Amino acid sequence: MSFDRSKTPRWRPGYRFQYEPAQKGHVLLYPEGMIKLNDSAALIGGLIDGERNVTAIISELEVQFPGVAELGDDIEQFMEVARAQHWIELG
């Protein structure tokens, strides 16, 4: 089964993406704790707004990072992990 890039990711209720100065990076806050995101995940997370679909997120990052091989596949992989971890919903 191929990944559906037309889906629009949104953070699940109770999850909040933000920059955390104490962590010197972006985190995902949720009622039970916090997840520190690496730089790549933070770039993707910053574009998850409930409006952009996965294709739009890929397009925006391709503009920022032209010529990066397999960028779309990496973003799909992040979305799959984030969904499996119940961080996001894909609508």
Q: Where are the domains of the chain?
A: 9-85
Q: Are 52 and 90 spatial neighbours (Cβ–Cβ below 8 Å)?
A: no
Query: Coil, strand, or helix at residue 28?
Result: strand
pTM: predicted TM-score of the whole model, two decimal places: 0.92
Q: 2 falls in which pLDDT band (50, 70, 90)?
A: confident
Structure tokens at 43: 């770039």
Mean confidence (pLDDT) of the chain: 95
Amino acid at 17: F
53-88, pLDDT tens digit by residue? Answer: 999 999 999 999 999 989 999 999 999 999 999 999
Q: Within 10 A of 26 (CB to CB), how many other CB atoms are there?
A: 19
What whole-number distance in Å separates Cα of residue 37 and Cα of residue 56?
21
43-55, pLDDT tens digit by residue? Answer: 999 999 999 999 9
9-85: CATH topology is Arc Repressor Mutant, subunit A (1.10.10)
